[in-house]
Amino acid sequence: MHLTSLTAEGFRCLEPLTFEPAPGVNILRGDNAQGKTSVLEAVLFLVTARSHRTNTERELVQRDAESFRIRGAFQRSDRPLQMEVNWWRNTKRFKVNGVTQDRVSDILGKVNVVFFAPEDVALIRGAGSLRRRFLDMELSQLSSRYLHALQRYRESLRQRNELLRGDKMDDSLLDVWDAQLAQHGAVLVEERGRFVQELNEHARQAHACIAGGEAMTAVYAPNVSPETGLEAALRKARQGDIKRGATNRGPHRDDFELVLEDRPARNYASQGQQRTAALALKLAEVALIEARTGEYPLLMLDDVLSELDAKRSRRLLEAVPPGVQCILTTTENDGGTPAFEAADAQFVIDGGCLARR
Amino acid sequence: MLVNAPSMEELVEALRCLPGVGKRSAERMALHLLSAPAEEAQRLSEAITTARARIRTCSICCDLTEADPCAVCSSGRRDRGVICVVERPAGTIAIERGGGFQGLYHVLHGALNPLEGAGPDELTVNRLMARVDKGDVREVIVATNATAEGEATALYLSRQLGTKGVAVSRIAHGVPMGGGLEYADDATLSHALEGRVRL
Ligand SMILES: [Zn+2]
């Protein structure tokens, strides 16, 4: 899968944009606040309906404008694909091959992307909620079964919590919400377990490649093990849940841990090791998506090179499988770094204007 | 110019209460009613008043009806041993339109929804239990919606009815007839797969 052409109007600080990346490695160079990240963000919003920088979509519109439009032409191995989003005063409409999509969830998985930004190092050292969000984002793109179970689980969780806090609570009512949570939660736990296991196999390789042999393992840590069963765990925790007015057990408290050479990366790894671990995780996703869908995702690396030394930069680029389209942004001017040697196309962005070099 | 016209604003607000009507369509409707011949608006307003006055809930199945009991409940040709439970009156209309169902209905007027303050007492659950307790009922088919709330309601009813010696079934949700699989959305397909039946 690769992006052949992207156009954007009214998006962030970008001048009307036409971006035609090459199938291989693309470098997008520019000083800070010139619009590099906004180009990646436009691609991300087009294919996932989300931004990595904000949940307030109004921030995505150019100042003094009320709407933006992004269009992308993609080439899958079997056929071309056109995506389009029109945003107007907080409503957005997606089209795939010219056909309006009824629900935003229908566009997920049409084009897979893997995105890495410097702040993604929080995936290693940050709160469990960040790793859950990672699992949810990735699995929602890969599995409609997962997406459906996740939506049902979240609705049922809100309903159960409301019931716990309200004055209409009784055991027979809690029972049915427990059963709903157990049914959909079991799907989440099963899919997450399988995903982390697959991710693990690929992450081990990617990490060994970038870090030069150091071993990394990802371990899924479900809040309630399948052997215990969520329905039993909820029943056991019920009195405490009632007291606190919240549901304390279940997949909404899941986590996974990254272990570097037998020690949890979260507590023991250095900054550099954590960054490498996060990158390895993202590269593992690239391989996992290819294994599951038969199609490589688009890989976008925002401002990664500045944080890596020349040796790690070279290894990172070597770890990207050939055939993956990759878009890297950098502030660096230096044409001598390994990334520039490997680039198939270079672009410069200045004041929201993009030009090919 | 319709600025500072409180009666117009009131009309727009009233129309906006209707399902699926946003501000813009409410304004379009209001302008239409105000510029069309007076009889047209009169007819609509009378139709609303008359229907509201005449239509009530059936004392047996709780569906909306003009005659009580409703046509289905008073028909001699329906199978009184089977009750199909739906959330809203729209559900009975949809199933009747499909034809083929020969039993009776029960309208819950909602689903279990703690966030909206709806528990069993806000629904017509007790009336349903009372109908089943009378003893003629062999089977209850739960046709609540395929939402988290609809599924929880179905489970609640099946547990409450489980002790009463009636068969309880859930309607299958799945792929529309005559539609190829490629036209079903992902959620429907995964639901249909999970609810598959052995052949
Ligand atoms: Zn009736």
User: Which residues make Cβ contacts (< 8 Å) with residue B193, sequence separation at least 6?
Assistant: none
Percent pLDDT > 70 in chain B is: 85
Please answer yes or no on whether A166 and B117 come within 8 Å at the CB atom: yes
Q: How far apart are alpha carbons A42 and A12 in whole angstroms?
A: 9
Would you state the torsion angle of the CA atoms of residues A294, A295, A301, A307, taken in this order, to the nearest 10 degrees? Answer: 30
Q: Work out how many CB contacts closer than 8 A connect A with B.
A: 64
Q: How far apart are alpha carbons B56 and B69 in whole angstroms?
A: 10
pLDDT in tens, B67-87: 999 999 999 999 999 999 999
Look at residue B180 in the predicted model and tell me its pLDDT: 60
A99–chain B Cβ distance below 8 A for any pair: no
Q: For residue B119, what are the CA distances in angstroms to A169, A174, A321, B115, B152?
A: 9, 11, 55, 10, 11
CA distance A154 to chain B (A): 9
Amino acid residing at A196: V
A205-210 average pLDDT score: 88
Q: What is the pTM of this model?
A: 0.83
Look at residue A103 in the predicted model and tell me its pLDDT: 82
Q: How far apart are alpha carbons A127 and A122 in whole angstroms?
A: 8
* Chain B residues interacting with chain A (CB cutoff of 8 angstroms): 112-115, 117, 119-121, 147-149, 151-153, 155-156, 159-160, 185-187, 189-191
Contact in structure between B98 and B176 (CB atoms under 8 Å): no
Tell me which chain A residues have a C-beta less than 8 angstroms from the C-beta of B153: 176
Please answer yes or no on whether B155 and A173 come within 8 Å at the CB atom: no
CA distance B86 to chain A (A): 18
Residue A211 confidence class, pLDDT cut points 50, 70, 90: confident
pLDDT in tens, A170-198: 899 999 999 999 999 999 999 999 999 99
Domain at A120-294: CATH code = 1.20.1050.90
Tell me which chain A residues have a C-beta less than 8 angstroms from the C-beta of B147: 155
Q: How far apart are alpha carbons B156 and B118 in whole angstroms?
A: 13
Highest average pLDDT, of A122-131, A265-274, A311-320, comes from: A122-131
Interface of A with B in 140-159 (CB under 8 A): 144-145, 147-148, 152, 155-156, 158-159
Please answer yes or no on whether B151 and A152 come within 8 Å at the CB atom: yes
The answer on pLDDT for A52 being more than 60 is yes
Supply the angle between the helices A144-165 and B148-161 in degrees, to the nearest 10: 70
- Stretch (H or E) spanning A280: helix A271-293
Tell me which chain B residues have a C-beta less than 8 angstroms from the C-beta of A105: 186-187
A141-146 average pLDDT score: 88
Q: Which residues surround ligand 1, an ion (CB under 5 A)?
A: B 58, 60-61, 69-70, 73
Q: Chain-centre distance of CA B183, in angstroms?
A: 25
Q: Which chain B residue has its CA at the smallest distance from A147's CA? A: B187
Strand order across the B167-170 sheet: B104-107, B82-86, B139-142, B167-170
Look at residue A262 in the predicted model and tell me its pLDDT: 85
Contact in structure between A71 and A84 (CB atoms under 8 Å): yes
Q: Is A294 helix (H, G, I), strand (E, B) or coil?
A: coil
User: Which residues make Cβ contacts (< 8 Å) with residue A266, sequence separation at least 6?
Assistant: A124, A125, A257, A258
Contact in structure between A26 and A345 (CB atoms under 8 Å): yes
Residue in A148, A158, A168 nearest the CB of B190: A148
- What average pLDDT does the structure give for chain A? 91
User: B105 CA to middle of ligand 1, Å?
Assistant: 7
Residue A153 confidence class, pLDDT cut points 50, 70, 90: very high
Percent pLDDT > 70 in chain A is: 98
The answer on pLDDT for A333 being more than 80 is no
Look at residue B1 in the predicted model and tell me its pLDDT: 56
A16-36 average pLDDT score: 93
Q: Which chain B residue has its CA at the smallest distance from A166's CA? A: B114
Greater confidence (A289 vs B197) lies with A289
Per-domain boundaries in chain A: 120-294
**Is the dihedral angle over the CA atoms B31, B32, B36, B39 positive or is it negative?**
negative
Q: Is the ipTM of this complex over 0.90?
A: no
The answer on pLDDT for A42 being more than 80 is yes
Look at residue B109 in the predicted model and tell me its pLDDT: 96
pLDDT in tens, A219-263: 999 999 999 999 999 999 999 999 999 999 999 999 998 998 888
Interface test with A, best of B157, B185, B196 (most A CBs within 10 A): B185
Domains of chain B (ranges; CATH) run 6-54 (1.10.8.420), 79-181+186-192 (3.40.1360.10)
Contact in structure between A207 and A280 (CB atoms under 8 Å): yes
Q: Is A284 helix (H, G, I), strand (E, B) or coil?
A: helix
CA distance A111 to chain B (A): 16
Paired tokens of B69: 């009991």
Look at residue A266 in the predicted model and tell me its pLDDT: 85
